[in-house]
Structure 1
Amino acid sequence: MLQSPVEFFRNLPKKVCPECGEQINEQAESYMMECDRCLAQKPE
């Protein structure tokens, strides 16, 4: 039996920052890989 799309997306694991391990609070159309704190610490 196929799983509904809503259940599929609900069951995906939370995104975690690879730098510090903090859980990233995702928003629509966001493709960030690091958390805001780690991004702010990077030199430009």
Structure 2
Amino acid sequence: MLSLEFYRHLPKKECRECGYEIEEQHESYLYECERCIGKHEES
């Protein structure tokens, strides 16, 4: 039970560009939201 409590209290992951909360997915290592990633691809 203690290990589950640890994961429940972790802070939400935020985009390092704009601060928007990123919905984490299994095995996702993204540090930017989709909107900011799209901005980089357009350049």
TM range (shorter): 0.7 to 0.9
Shift of 1:40: 0.8
> Identity of paired residues, percent?
50
* TM-score (ref. length: structure 2): 0.87
1:1-44 Cα distance to aligned partner (Å, 9 max, x none): xx711000000000001101100000110000000000011037
More helix by share: 2
Distance in 1, Cα, partners of 2:38 & 2:11: 25
**Partner residue in 2 for 1:16:** 14
Considering only CA atoms, is the larger Rg found in Structure 1 or Structure 2?
A: 1
Would you identify which runs of 4 or more consecutive aligned residues in structure 1 move more than 6 Å?
none
Cα RMSD (Å) of the superposition? 1.6
Q: Give the count of matched residue pairs.
A: 42
